[in-house]
């Protein structure tokens, strides 16, 4: 458009806009490739699945017109991550940055470095209970029908119904920024909210969001959907509102690869760099040999605080010990009270019972057969930088698997010593092109091409009738009516003041005369 606008002397003189250009490109793509955007995205996933040795999980749902309604896909790396860190999962459906405004669902958790980690992706047309049920049931199938211990999400009735249907043994934690139960009575009395229907309904769900009711359930230090919301901003670097499905899937995979690369980088730092000590005790040193860098930092904070406590053996101590056990179940790390007892008892190592494996530096260690093959993309479409990044990710995973035992290490060294000389004999420019007979099925191989989805409609209320919580209304002052600074009358400003305009007119006439 900029080039055409320069030729014609400005974009306003061209006769069409950017959207017209996009429409022409879309039509030309369909004529040239005879395939829909949705089908192109699915073909990409099937090709990645074939390259990985059929390790992907891909499921679709279409409507009566054969238009894509729902899509769930799980990268094999996500399945591996879920096996290690799938005890707590968070998700929401607020992200709609794609051409069809379809809600995007990244199933999100945290790894042993307290970094975000993805357990799979979903795209959905609407936010009805039946759609949520299909998405959750399908995703659960993809991760081996092994539900998480805790699900953290926003407060949505359709979502809650689906979770109750498919995750009967999970904890649905609808977290709302409101007030704590201990001050609830005084709160509703102060603001005369005893009969407020919305607030009463929120109080009935207190066991799902008030910490005093959920502290005996493991949550991996999470108490809100901010992890999912942060993941949404992370994907903003890769997609936009004009991104089609094929490009969306491509960029989601790139974002996923970058995420796992960050985990590998943090693994290297944790294993190879020394952790600074604060108290220089044997207990602290033992923790530095167990936990990741981030978890060791949190352990140190508790250990330092434990020095402020005085321990005396009483009957009350037994009761407190039970409470500390509950706190251990909630976070997975020993609390300061427990560490104070360890120090009093001269405990030099953390007992195995108090060590949660998911926070240790080897929590993502690969045992047995490698659960995935990394997709490295189509080499003929990759730049040298793309090839370097892909090989870096592949070799880091190869190294991570090879250090698990001496037998693996010796075999890995043998493979590299045997294959590197063969690799160096190959031509620099002889990158093998992608063979057509190795591609995944394209549109012509399917019984019927899956058509593009329709534009998704937002389920939420319109802005002018949005319900406001009592918290928003409390203490909010009404704006005073607009007052003219010229005549001091209400209902208009200085620019539209009739008295001012009349005075200006009289001044101009007097100057003219």
pLDDT score recorded for residue 78: 92
Give 448-471 pLDDT, tens digit per residue. 678 888 877 655 444 444 445 444
C-alpha to C-alpha distances, 236 to 176, 243, 255, nearest whole angstrom: 25, 11, 10
pLDDT score recorded for residue 223: 62
- Higher pLDDT, residue 129 or 394: 129
Strands 150-153 and 88-90: parallel
Average pLDDT for 340-347:
89
Question: Can you tell me the distance from the alpha carbon of 439 to that of 418, in angstroms, rounded to the nearest whole number?
Answer: 29
pLDDT score recorded for residue 118: 92
Kindly state the helix (H) or strand (E) to which residue 71 belongs, with its residue range: strand 68-74
pLDDT score recorded for residue 388: 67
- Higher pLDDT, residue 219 or 8: 8
The overall average pLDDT reported for the chain is 76
pLDDT score recorded for residue 450: 84
pLDDT higher than 50, residue 392? yes
Give the percent of the chain with pLDDT over 90.
18
Average pLDDT for 206-235:
64
- Higher pLDDT, residue 375 or 511: 511
C-alpha to C-alpha distances, 179 to 137, 161, 163, 218, 472, nearest whole angstrom: 34, 25, 25, 22, 13
C-alpha to C-alpha distances, 423 to 382, 415, 419, 433, nearest whole angstrom: 19, 12, 6, 17
Average pLDDT for 128-154:
88
pLDDT score recorded for residue 61: 93
Closest CA to 157 of 170, 167, 147, 172: 172
449: exposed, middle or buried (Cβ count in 10 Å: 0-12, 13-18, 19+): middle
pLDDT score recorded for residue 304: 94
pLDDT higher than 80, residue 59? yes
pLDDT higher than 90, residue 310? no
Cβ pair 289, 264 in contact under 8 A: no
Average pLDDT for 411-440:
63
Average pLDDT for 386-392:
67
DSSP string, 146-182: ---SEEEE---HHHHHHHHHH-TTSEEEE--SS--GG
Average pLDDT for 425-436:
48
Structure pTM? 0.64
Question: What are the φ/ψ torsions at residue 28 (nearest 5 degrees)?
Answer: -70, -35
Give 348-378 pLDDT, tens digit per residue. 999 988 899 999 998 887 655 444 444 445 5
Give 462-505 pLDDT, tens digit per residue. 444 444 544 445 455 566 777 888 888 888 887 778 888 787 77
- Higher pLDDT, residue 386 or 114: 114
pLDDT score recorded for residue 375: 47
Give 263-282 pLDDT, tens digit per residue. 989 998 998 888 899 999 99
Average pLDDT for 382-406:
70
Name the most confidently modeled range: 157-161, 173-177, 354-358, 428-432.
354-358
Average pLDDT for 311-315:
71
Cβ pair 16, 35 in contact under 8 A: no
Give 23's pLDDT tier (boundaries 50, 70, 90).
Answer: confident
**Helices 384-402 & 245-272, crossing angle to 10 degrees?**
50
pLDDT score recorded for residue 179: 40
Question: Can you tell me the distance from the alpha carbon of 425 to that of 427, in angstroms, rounded to the nearest whole number?
Answer: 7
Give 129's pLDDT tier (boundaries 50, 70, 90).
Answer: confident
- Higher pLDDT, residue 231 or 297: 297
Closest CA to 103 of 79, 129, 121: 121
pLDDT score recorded for residue 75: 93
Token output for 259: 């995420």
Give 97-115 pLDDT, tens digit per residue. 778 888 888 899 999 999 9
What is residue 15's three-state secondary structure? coil
C-alpha to C-alpha distances, 318 to 321, 324, 325, 339, 350, nearest whole angstrom: 5, 10, 11, 15, 19
51-60, 417-426, 442-451: range with lowest mean pLDDT? 442-451
pLDDT higher than 70, residue 319? no
Question: What are the φ/ψ torsions at residue 63 (nearest 5 degrees)?
Answer: -95, -170
DSSP 224: S
């Amino acid at each position: 458009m900029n080039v055409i606008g320069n030729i014609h002397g400005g974009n306003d003189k061209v006769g069409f806009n950017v959207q017209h250009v996009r429409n022409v490109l879309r039509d030309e793509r369909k004529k040239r490739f005879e395939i829909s955007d949705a089908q192109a995205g699915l073909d990409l996933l099937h090709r990645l699945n074939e390259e990985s040795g059929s390790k992907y999980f891909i499921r679709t749902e279409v409507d009566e017109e054969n238009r894509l309604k729902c899509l769930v896909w799980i990268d094999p790396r996500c399945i591996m991550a879920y096996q290690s860190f799938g005890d707590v999962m968070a998700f929401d459906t607020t992200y709609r940055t794609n051409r069809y405004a379809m809600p995007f669902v990244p199933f999100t958790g945290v790894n042993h470095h307290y970094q975000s980690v993805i357990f799979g992706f979903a795209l959905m047309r609407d936010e009805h209970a039946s759609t949520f049920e299909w998405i959750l049931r399908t995703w659960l199938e993809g991760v081996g029908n092994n539900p998480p211990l805790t699900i953290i999400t926003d407060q949505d009735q359709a979502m809650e119904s689906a979770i109750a249907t498919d995750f009967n043994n999970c904890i649905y934690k609808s977290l709302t920024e409101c007030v704590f139960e201990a001050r609830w009575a005084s709160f509703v009395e102060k603001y005369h909210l005893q009969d407020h229907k919305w607030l009463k309904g929120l109080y009935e769900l207190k066991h799902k969001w008030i910490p005093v009711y959920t502290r005996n359930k493991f949550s991996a230090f999470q108490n809100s959907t901010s992890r999912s919301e942060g993941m949404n901003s992370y994907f903003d670097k890769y997609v936009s509102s004009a991104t089609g499905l094929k490009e969306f899937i491509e960029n989601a995979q790139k974002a996923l690869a970058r995420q796992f690369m960050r985990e590998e980088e943090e693994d290297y730092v944790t294993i190879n760099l020394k952790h600074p000590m604060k108290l220089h005790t044997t207990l602290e040193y033992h923790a530095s040999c167990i936990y990741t860098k981030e978890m060791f930092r949190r352990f140190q904070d508790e250990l330092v605080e434990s020095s402020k406590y005085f321990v005396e053996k009483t009957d009350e101590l037994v009761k407190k010990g039970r409470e500390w056990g509950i706190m251990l179940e909630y976070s997975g790390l020993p609390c300061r009270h427990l560490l104070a007892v360890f120090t009093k008892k001269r405990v030099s190592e953390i007992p195995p019972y108090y060590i949660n494996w998911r926070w240790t530096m080897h929590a993502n260690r690969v045992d047995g057969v490698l659960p995935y093959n990394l997709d490295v993309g189509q080499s003929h479409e990759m730049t040298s930088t793309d090839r370097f990044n892909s090989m870096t990710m592949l070799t880091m995973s190869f190294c991570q698997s090879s250090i698990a035992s001496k037998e693996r290490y010796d075999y890995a060294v043998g493979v590299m010593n045997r294959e590197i000389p063969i690799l160096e004999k190959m031509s620099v420019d002889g990158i093998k092109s992608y063979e057509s007979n190795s591609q995944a099925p394209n549109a012509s191989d399917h019984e019927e091409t899956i058509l593009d989805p329709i534009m998704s409609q937002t389920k939420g209320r319109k802005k002018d009738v949005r319900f406001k919580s009592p918290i928003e209304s409390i203490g909010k002052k009404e704006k005073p009516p607009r007052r003219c600074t010229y005549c001091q009358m209400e209902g208009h400003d200085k620019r539209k003041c009739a008295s001012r305009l009349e005075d200006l007119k009289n001044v101009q006439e007097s100057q003219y005369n």
